[in-house]
Amino acid sequence: MNIALIIAGGIGERMKQALPKQFISIYDKPIIIYTLEKFQESRLIDIIAVVCLSGWEEVLKAYAKQFNITKLRHIIPPGKVGQESIKNGIYELAKHYPLESNVLVHDAIRPNVTEEIILKCLEVTNLKGNAIVCLPCQEAMLETTNSIDSMSSYPRDKLKRTQTPQGFKLSFILDLHKEASSKGITNSIASCTLATELGHKVYITKGCETNIKLTTLEDIEIFKALLKKEVR
């Protein structure tokens, strides 16, 4: 069983728009639907679950019906922070599906994920128990404590830029969140950082530069350009 857990619980403050960013429409289609369509169309994904911003559940259901997202089975309440939203999703999935299932945790605002990325993430998850989609760091990396100046750098070959999906066996990520709760860890940046904070090794799989996360208006313009390129 392969499950896509889409995290759509944020309001997108950095976008500075009236709508939550996952519900902003681009060419008459909400961003979240572009994302859901990638998993709907994937031959590898059996079930889609969405952790949805409170008050937007019925909107999501209507869009899912309009755009024929038939794999959507669960709409789950969010938490106060991202870690809690993911935990809510994982706990709900554990009520319904075998613990040996694969769960791909994915940002609702990362709508350009590819079938190849999904495939490679699932392959490594099946082999190693988890898989984190990553890119190499191409730029020179400076260290700073004040965001104003720097007197040191960090070797870029030791760094990876993480993306989503991040794949886990359901049993593994369920145990992660239980352990985090017992240790008072409540606001880890991502599932991969939660795993490493708790002393677990994570495994890297290849991402793509076009698998962008839409956090600013500039990102939306880039996504529009990618959509136009696909149409051509």
CB-CB contact of 53 with 22 (8 Å): yes
Which amino acid appears at position 173 of this protein? I
pLDDT digits (tens, 9 = 90+) for 123-167: 999 999 999 999 999 999 999 999 999 999 999 999 999 999 999
Tokens of 173: 């990520």
Checking if the pLDDT of 72 tops 60, the result is yes
Please report which helix (H) or strand (E) contains residue 169, including its range.
Answer: strand 160-169
Neighbouring CB atoms inside 10 A of 113's CB total 27
Condensed to tens digits (0 to 9), the pLDDT of residues 164-181 reads 999 999 999 999 999 999
Instruction: Report pLDDT digits (tens) over 73-99.
Output: 999 999 999 999 999 999 999 999 999
pTM summary value: 0.94
